[in-house]
Structure 1
Amino acid sequence: MQTRSGRTFAVLAMVGTLVLTGCGTQSGDPEEEEAAAGAGRTIRAQKVMQLTEVHEETRMTLLEGPVFGEDGGLYVVDVTAPEGKPKVIRVDVGSRTSRAVHTDGRGAYTSAQFSPYDGRLYLSDFAHGEIVSLAPGGGDRRTFFSGEVDGALMNPDDIAFDQEGNLYVSDSRGLSEGEALGRVVRISRDGTRATTLAGELAAPNGVSFDVDYQGLWFSELTENRISYLRLDEQGEVTSRHTAIRVDAGIAQTDSIAVDADGNLYQGLHGRAAMAVYDRHGERLATVELPARAKGLESATNVAITPGGTKAYMTVSGPGGGYLYAFDALAEGVRQSNGG
């Protein structure tokens, strides 16, 4: 991706270019039945509402970063929204209504997350290498972090907070060049210190803590794999390994959410579906749209209602940007709310 504001349109176009089936009918062939069982069951998501249409200026719409605020609203970002169009949207899922809470002429926001430290809404600006924050209901935009990390600007994609309010960011640097230059970066909660925790990654995208805050899951878009970073009490890495290899065909691994049982919900960019794994790497289920859904190509992210099991998935494509809902396998926690 490019980071210069004069080439933002190219950035947005690149972002837009950014499985799995459930058990079918039994074939009578033991090997085929075993393979089908390994794919887990199919969960059918149902349409909640349409939030956006394809923008004439960018010829795209791409919803991301669903996160519930303390006010009960679901906040969603539109990565490719042009100046003057809503870049952050608040949805009332009960009444199925929405309203704009923020727009500007600069940001290409790819994620959203509320800080446990100051309660503000944090957004990653992929195009300009910045993390910005808003007041809980929108407005009062502040730049939290910008500049180089270990000598290189970031392309920040998703974010996660630890319990003290420090940020963990997936940096997709190198995506446009096709080089493994990506990183996982830790930023102190005051924004003054940034440290690379893992490097030489293939366009890292999703990032989420496990339920015990003992480690980070992160996905790499161009390798279709999920890795695990084990952390100590100071947030330093003690080990790293590839945990899950995602068979996604033409789709790529996008954002990650984790529920109260430690299950991983892996969004797919390039296919309107989501793969669900347990923490040991077994594929439990695939979330699919109804067959009648047309013009939708990516299911980027999900937020599970805190303390409940209703999950809301951001889905986008030439048909517009939508929210779809399904029943998660366990209750929502902070790790399944935004990022």
Structure 2
Amino acid sequence: MQRLPIRSLAGLTAIGLLTLTLTGCGTRAGAAAHEAASTGADTTVRAQKVMRLTKVHQATGMTLLEGPVFDRDGNLLVVDVTAPPGEPKVLRVDVRKKTSRQVHTDARGAYTSAQFSPYDGRIYLTDFSHGDIVSLAPDGSDPQTFFSGEVDGARMNADDLAFDRDGDLYISDSRGMSEGEAKGRVVRIDRDGKNATVLADGLAAPNGISFAADYRGLWVSELTQNRVSYLLLDGNGGVASRHTAIRVDGGVAQTDSIAVDADGNLYQALHGRPAMVVYDRNGERLATVEIPARAAEGLESATNVAITPGGTKAYMTVSGPAGGYLYTFDALAEGIRQSNGG
């Protein structure tokens, strides 16, 4: 991985005492996106600004928003990967009132994703720099280390996170990114945190991870190869097969996080460009979600998205030297668990 001014799940430059190698739209736009989904045409959807959540931190020289996820009250939780100790590392956003407040901070975590467990209802965070999985009570209290240590002889660079229906964790491990080697893995951890296994290895900086709408497989984006792989699951906690499903023509941009809607469409975030591309489950490109040109200056990456559960309002995290922002657009289909951060 090259060191860049902004790295979403791809990597971070040095921050403070830690050196890390981390890296809705209006009605007309929403209607155009839905038409694209039905006709197979690629259309442009213009996202609209909701609010600026963060400024560049003086201590780290960056801000990088990630892992948007809705709680049961309809508030949006967001992580700031590069927030220094004492500043909010997890924020809760009231998208209607356009306000935010701190949920959690600590002395060492660099959190790149957040998810609520369907098993115990707690918030789970991936710490990229240490490979730990940390959990919090829904209100942000009671921080606990859920998992720490090596998996098959190597610590993880835990990036994104997806839960299966039973509450077991599936994690994209971006190890090898800084060396530019395909050492990345998909790791499965039982919901009790006692058993961690490698489901797939030899991946090129795996970043986004999401279950397909039917839970039969996993979509995994490989950042340094600009591709999305599909892992067909065997129903017994293993992988039956794996293949390259989508090759993303990103130009200077690279594949970041992934979300999936109720129709099985994939929302592929882009690192290096404040935009997302949307594909159907067969790899057909349906839409490109972009920030209006006049607002895009100082914004370098769209890292992730959460779609309102049961609705189509989508909220995208966007960051750069101008700060960390939330943008909104109309998704092509309703939000489900696989649409909710990760």
- TM normalised by structure 2 equals 0.90
Q: Which position in structure 1 is the counterpart of 2:270?
A: 268
Report the Cα offset of residue 234 of structure 1.
1.6
Report the Cα offset of residue 8 of structure 1.
5.5
Q: Which position in structure 1 is the counterpart of 2:18?
A: 9
RMSD value, Cα: 1.7
Indicate yes or no: 2:334 matched with 1:325. Answer: no
Moved segments of 4+, more than 3 Å: 5-9
Q: Which position in structure 1 is the counterpart of 2:303?
A: 300
- One-letter identity of the residue aligned with 2:166: E
Q: State which of 142, 145, 150 in structure 2 corresponds to 1:143.
A: 145
Cα 1:8–1:261, aligned 2, differ >3 Å: closer, same or farther? farther
> 8 Å contact 1:78–1:110 — kept in the other structure?
yes
Q: Which position in structure 2 is the counterpart of 1:40?
A: 42
Aligned mates of 2:141, 2:107 — CA distance in 1: 14
Q: Which position in structure 1 is the counterpart of 2:193?
A: 191
- One-letter identity of the residue aligned with 2:281: R
SS of the residue corresponding to residue 293 of structure 2 reads coil
> Which segment is superposed worse, 37-46 or 245-254?
37-46
- TM normalised by structure 1 equals 0.91
Give a deviation string over 1:88-122, Cα, whole Å, max 9, x none.
00000111110001001110000000000000000
Q: Which position in structure 2 is the counterpart of 1:32?
A: none
Identity across matched positions, percent: 75
Aligned mates of 2:64, 2:189 — CA distance in 1: 26
Q: State which of 266, 275, 279 in structure 2 corresponds to 1:277.
A: 279
Q: What is the aligned residue count?
A: 316
SS of the residue corresponding to residue 83 of structure 2 reads coil
Q: Which position in structure 1 is the counterpart of 2:54?
A: 52
Aligned mates of 2:237, 2:168 — CA distance in 1: 9
- One-letter identity of the residue aligned with 2:235: E
- One-letter identity of the residue aligned with 1:309: T
Q: State which of 72, 79, 86 in structure 1 corresponds to 2:74.
A: 72
Report the Cα offset of residue 125 of structure 1.
0.2
> 8 Å contact 1:112–1:121 — kept in the other structure?
yes
> 8 Å contact 2:15–2:61 — kept in the other structure?
no
Give a deviation string over 1:120-166, Cα, whole Å, max 9, x none.
00000001110000000102100001101011100000000000000
> Which segment is superposed worse, 43-52 or 290-299?
290-299
Aligned mates of 2:289, 2:169 — CA distance in 1: 29
Give a deviation string over 1:165-219, Cα, whole Å, max 9, x none.
0000000001111111100000000000011010011110000000110000000
Indicate yes or no: 2:245 matched with 1:236. Answer: no
Q: State which of 179, 182, 185 in structure 2 corresponds to 1:180.
A: 182
- One-letter identity of the residue aligned with 2:227: R
- One-letter identity of the residue aligned with 1:337: N
SS of the residue corresponding to residue 18 of structure 2 reads helix
Q: Which position in structure 1 is the counterpart of 2:319?
A: 316
Structure 1 unmatched ranges of 5 or more: 19-36
- One-letter identity of the residue aligned with 1:325: T
Report the Cα offset of residue 38 of structure 1.
7.8
Report the Cα offset of residue 72 of structure 1.
1.5
